[in-house]
Structure 1
Amino acid sequence: MVATVAAGCSDGAGAAPKITTTARAGIAPTPPQQGAYFGAWVPPPVGGAATRSPSATASPGTASAGPSGTASGSASPGPAGKDADKPGMAPVSAFERDMGRQLDIVQSYRGWKSEFPTGLDTSVVGSNRYLLLTWAGADTKEIVQGKYDALIRARAKAIKATGKPVFLRWSRDMDRASLKDRVHSPADFIAAWKHLRQIFTAEKVDNVAWVWCPSARGFGAPNAGAFYPGDDQVDWICADAPPGADYEYRDLSETLKLFMQWARGRHKPIMIAEFGVPKAYGQRRAEWLRAATRTLEDPQVKAVVYFDSDEQAEDARDKRRAYSVTGDTRAVSALRELATAPYFNPRNLPVTSGG
């Protein structure tokens, strides 16, 4: 069954193609008719039990993150507060309180050999939020050779058993040069992607929406588009879009420009799965977020996920890779404006005055 959404125009965004996915409406996550879902990655406190975001260079089987930094959030309740006591949900609930609303999407990171769903994953699928499960990759040639078939089958069955719609973002940033030793080539990646989907299909896993997600930067000199498995293999197209530590200041529109040009040729909903404003931008963080809101109000963009974390920072002085808005009143206010705008609240969830 194919879900279809007619994408209209918004000011300055231009026309977008009619959007289709291979996901089954009502069973797997499908795009909203109007607007875009709002979500976030909110890491646990240092030493917490929930998973951290693995670095892009994490080796297969690594479940934890690369450099960890200051965690965002605290154990205070969110707008409703009813889920703050569930595993992994205290930081999410605190972030929701700051945003003045419940999230549509909560992101979770899992290593290639990590079991799921557990902890935060289980809490999210047990609520009315969507789980965005970011699953690390492995050696693509070994996947195609069948080395991991039993593992893949077990994960497929586990997702099916939740009985809830789940976004699955496998092997993100596959275009990065640092991952070439295990990704090998675009052809190898595509073969591995199709191998995973074949196993999920054999297990009759219908509640998954497949999210293909290279880096936005990969649409420059590298050709991230070469890793695209095909419209019949992908439900959502995605990009990770941090501004980049080598820029003094860069609007999100510039970061996404080449990716969006490429995406116009695909009849797919767009997800921006990791965007954030660096603390290095200081007083201009709120300005950046308000400009980002205008960029993301695009008729083809159907989900945006804020990366509310400092864990990619090399140390406490590294403000260019620190994206948490916690403690920055102006940045929190600007991000709350985005989160509570009708465009980014397509399910019309209750809105409060925020923190």
Structure 2
Amino acid sequence: MRKAAALVLVTTLTLAGCSFGKEKEKPAPKPSPNLTAPPPAVAIHSGPFKAGPFKAPKKGAYVGAWIKPDELTHVGRLAAVQGLESELGRSLHIVNTYRRFEQMVGTPSDKEFLAQGATLMVSWATGDNRSILDGEHDDLIRKQARAIRKVHRPVLLRMRWEMDRPNLRATMWSGADYIAAWKYVREIFRQERVKNVSWVWCPTAEGFIRGDAPGFYPGDDQVDWTCVDVYAGERFAPIAELMGPFLQWAAQRPKPIVVGEFGVAKAWGSAGRAAWLRDAARTFKANPQIKAVVYFESDPEGNGPTKQFQLTGDKPAFKAFHKLVRDPYFNP
């Protein structure tokens, strides 16, 4: 297991992809969907994929996680990953990490994860798109580009993931603004000779259900991996149903898919959660274009049971997740 390296890192949970508010919880209805039916295969594009420096496995899918640390320090971050890996009896392929706009990649804990063979998926909360396009953050973007270049290992970079969330509209402005900012940042990275980034475009499953997420897509020439964040939170349904519109869209593009965040809420009970995770494993395997899956192992503070997703401590649910990660399919 990884040894802890001391350094202070402030990582606020508001960066995490759920970013759920504290609205009053609604009583959760009992689970009713059929989680035993074979999932429909949708995303079966066989490639070849242009995935950037982080290559997709020929068969199977990588597995990773974001693990909420008990303490928001580097020691806490390392302990969180180490603890989950110990319980799983295996190392994670991908370690998801959230960074504010001004937080640089390449911290000692980043280096520790890399030294142990993990790949970093950096969820980077870039700022107001129009201020980016006005050049207000050029120095910051260049600094991050140089920091990532110095890593000397492939990095999955989720630039402002979940950009389609309605509560981000004030800083995203529009799909056109987001696309322009994406291209602007990529150009700065090119100028800084950064060649170890795989660019990951990651909206929400809800954005595809609403129909507005595709309007934020920068284009096949700009994106290396397509991505989606999907949760059985307030709505309990099979994962294939929740992310079905995204899978149908992604199947038309020669890009590998990473499920950037997925989770099933505690509101649905241990048995329901375990069944949902077993169905998720079947769904991932039925859609071979999915080349990586990353669990959101966190209970964001202040949220009720429909918005808490930690599996540790829930024996039936954790057992189902353990079976998923020990499956040879998820150990390519």
2:65 aligns to what?
A: 40
Distance 1:17 1:189 in 2: 29
Following TM superposition, the consecutive aligned residue runs of length 4 or more in structure 1 with deviations greater than 4 angstroms are none
**Within-5 A mapping of 1:321-332:** 321-332=307-318
Conservation of the 8 A alpha-carbon contact between 2:69 and 2:76: no
2:56 aligns to what?
A: 31
1:71 aligns to what?
A: none
Does residue 295 of structure 2 align to residue 267 of structure 1?
no
2:229 aligns to what?
A: 240
Distance 1:119 1:258 in 2: 39
Distance 2:224 2:246 in 1: 17
Q: Deviations over 1:247-284 (max 9, x none)?
A: 2x222111111110111111100010110111111121
Give, as a single letter, the amino acid of the residue that structure 2 aligns with 1:18: G
In the TM superposition, residue 43 of structure 1 has moved relative to its aligned partner by: 1.4
2:15 aligns to what?
A: none
1:95 aligns to what?
A: 84
Distance 1:309 1:87, change over 3 A: closer
What TM-score does the superposition give when structure 2 sets the normalisation length? 0.84
Does residue 44 of structure 2 align to residue 13 of structure 1?
no
Distance 1:87 1:328 in 2: 21
Distance 1:243 1:88 in 2: 26
Equivalent residue for 1:290, pick from 262, 273, 278: 278
Give, as a single letter, the amino acid of the residue that structure 1 aligns with 2:112: S
Conservation of the 8 A alpha-carbon contact between 1:19 and 1:269: no
In the TM superposition, residue 342 of structure 1 has moved relative to its aligned partner by: 1.1
Q: Deviations over 1:319-352 (max 9, x none)?
A: 1111111111111110011101111111xxxxxx
Conservation of the 8 A alpha-carbon contact between 1:19 and 1:300: no
Q: Deviations over 1:108-159 (max 9, x none)?
A: 0000112222243222222201011110021111111211111100100000
Distance 1:22 1:197, change over 3 A: farther
Give, as a single letter, the amino acid of the residue that structure 2 aligns with 1:168: L
Distance 2:187 2:51 in 1: 14
Equivalent residue for 1:145, pick from 134, 137, 140: 134
**Within-5 A mapping of 1:108-127:** 108-127=97-116
**Within-5 A mapping of 1:212-227:** 212-227=201-216
Q: Deviations over 1:39-85 (max 9, x none)?
A: 0001110x3314xxxxxxxxxxxxxxxxxxxxxxxxxxxxxxxxxxx
Conservation of the 8 A alpha-carbon contact between 1:22 and 1:232: no
1:351 aligns to what?
A: none
Point out where structure 1 has 5 or more consecutive residues left out of the alignment: 1-9, 51-85, 347-355
Give, as a single letter, the amino acid of the residue that structure 2 aligns with 1:290: R
What SS class does the counterpart of residue 93 from structure 1 fall into? helix
Distance 2:243 2:211 in 1: 15
Distance 2:209 2:275 in 1: 26
Distance 1:155 1:125 in 2: 17
Conservation of the 8 A alpha-carbon contact between 2:40 and 2:240: no
Does residue 320 of structure 2 align to residue 334 of structure 1?
yes
Distance 1:16 1:115 in 2: 35
Q: How many residues align?
A: 292
Distance 1:42 1:158 in 2: 23
1:154 aligns to what?
A: 143
RMSD, aligned α-carbons: 1.7
How much identity, in percent, do the aligned residues show?
42
Q: Deviations over 1:190-221 (max 9, x none)?
A: 00000111011111111110000001110122
Point out where structure 2 has 5 or more consecutive residues left out of the alignment: 1-37
Does residue 174 of structure 2 align to residue 185 of structure 1?
yes
1:257 aligns to what?
A: 244
2:219 aligns to what?
A: 230
**Within-5 A mapping of 1:121-136:** 121-136=110-125
Distance 1:305 1:160 in 2: 24
In the TM superposition, residue 88 of structure 1 has moved relative to its aligned partner by: 2.7
